[in-house]
Amino acid sequence: MAQGGVCAGSARDWRTRAAQARRSGTQDPRLYDGTMTTRPSEADLGTRAPLLRSALPFPRREGKVRDIYDLPDGCLLIVASDRISAFDVVMPTPIPGKGEILTRLACFWLRWIEAKGLSGTHLLSDDAADIPGVPPEANATLRGRVMLARRCRVVPIECVVRGYLEGSGWKEYQATGAVCGVRLPAGLRQCDRLPEPIFTPATKEEVGTHDENVSFEQASARVGEPLMRRLREVSLAIYRAAAAHALARGIIIADTKFEFGIPEGGSDPILIDEALTPDSSRFWPAADYAPGRAQRSFDKQFVREFLEDLVRRGVWNKTPPGPDLPDEVVRGTLERYRAAAQGLMD
């Protein structure tokens, strides 16, 4: 694609594309599963050399998992590495193929969310050939790992939606009977389904700093109440629709987090970063679900449990640097991520 072509199309209204797809009755795969380029097959995932960090000739900043580049045509290039983080610490051991799985699933959900009319998103393309000024050999390394995205001003709040009581929410509920200021019924058990999904925001901090759960009022003080009301409305709508989609395929989305941004030249927030992946969500097999205990999962809870054992034994204290991950944890994590993607995109 010619330089500037992808970003030149970014002004097209997402609502127009989604409405056209619904009216025509067609399911353009670009709206649903991100199949806008040739990507690795399922058999290839995890067989290529892991990508711990990318190196391209553009201004770069590094997140916990993704490398973000400012492209000369005005787009952002987001490269999903095989890094994995837990407790806001990046582990030194990569999970080979993880970045490809995350990209595939994120693109599926972002196009699905657009097609349902739930929110605009930052996704423009997932085709490495659309990156200007990158040689073919670099394209081969990036294939299946990239999103070209609209540039946005990031809203510094993580929009967490919980449909079930687990993780930090379970711990807070045990101590206070509430989660992020949301009062819940007495007597709930670990992993109980909540009467209604709840919106529990968190601060978005720099890499190496722990995000902090906050109340809706605290989040509103930071970014403004009208914006927070809009983000709450959209986040809950996306969660409800996605949870129904997943449950019909035998997967419970226990909780998830979204990030939003304001596009350059725009005023309405759109969904950015990833959405509804094993990195940002808790996925449980519905057939095994039973409240009152921890659940088997298709997400990075497997890694968290390994790390929590190290903490209990005094080997690690949840601060950088993270410990090396043994081969069985690497393999088990990749298997769980694959199962989540295959189940949700079926």
pLDDT of residue 204: 80
Check if the beta carbon of residue 147 is closer than 8 Å to that of residue 106. Answer: yes
What would the DSSP string read from start to end of 224-238? Answer: -HHHHHHHHHHHHHH
Q: Please check whether residue 328 lies inside any domain of the structure.
A: no
pLDDT of residue 59: 95
Q: Identity (one letter) of the amino acid at 301?
A: Q
pLDDT of residue 206: 62
Identify the domain boundary among 117, 150, 183.
Answer: 150
For residue 205, what is the domain's CATH number?
Answer: 3.30.470.20
Q: Please check whether residue 242 lies inside any domain of the structure.
A: yes
Q: Are residues 159 and 59 in the same domain?
A: no
State whether residue 92 is helix, strand or coil: coil
Q: Are residues 78 and 205 in the same domain?
A: no
Query: Global pTM?
Result: 0.87
Residue found under tokens 């034994």: 313
Q: Are residues 133 and 40 in the same domain?
A: yes
Q: Which residues of the chain have pLDDT under 70?
A: 1-47, 205-210
Q: Are residues 11 and 42 in the same domain?
A: yes
What's the total number of domains in the chain? 2
For residue 84, the enclosing domain spans 5-150
pLDDT of residue 235: 98
Q: Identity (one letter) of the amino acid at 81?
A: S
Q: Are residues 142 and 16 in the same domain?
A: yes
Q: Are residues 85 and 140 in the same domain?
A: yes
Q: Please check whether residue 189 lies inside any domain of the structure.
A: yes
Q: How far apart are CA 57 and CA 308, in angstroms?
A: 39
Cβ neighbourhood burial of 230 (10 Å; 0-12, 13-18, 19+): middle
Q: Are residues 76 and 178 in the same domain?
A: no
Q: Are residues 146 and 160 in the same domain?
A: no
**Helix, strand, coil share (%) of the chain residues, nearest 5:** 35, 20, 45
Q: How far apart are CA 172 and CA 84, in angstroms?
A: 25
pLDDT of residue 5: 53
Q: How far apart are CA 98 and CA 278, in angstroms?
A: 10
pLDDT of residue 104: 96
> How far, in whole angstroms, is CA 110 from its chain's centroid?
10
Q: Are residues 126 and 182 in the same domain?
A: no
Q: Please check whether residue 246 lies inside any domain of the structure.
A: yes
pLDDT of residue 10: 44
Check the CA dihedral 272-178-64-308 and report its sign.
negative
Q: Are residues 114 and 178 in the same domain?
A: no
pLDDT of residue 32: 37
Q: Are residues 65 and 28 in the same domain?
A: yes
Identify the domain boundary among 89, 119, 150.
Answer: 150
| 32-66 burial: b if 16+ Cβ within 10 Å, else e | bbbebbebbeeeebbebebbeebebeeeeeebbbb
Residue found under tokens 């989609």: 245
Q: Please check whether residue 280 lies inside any domain of the structure.
A: yes
What the block records as the tokens of 243 is 């949870």
Q: Please check whether residue 201 lies inside any domain of the structure.
A: yes
Q: Are residues 25 and 113 in the same domain?
A: yes
Identify the domain boundary among 101, 120, 150.
Answer: 150
For residue 43, what is the domain's CATH number?
Answer: 3.30.200.20
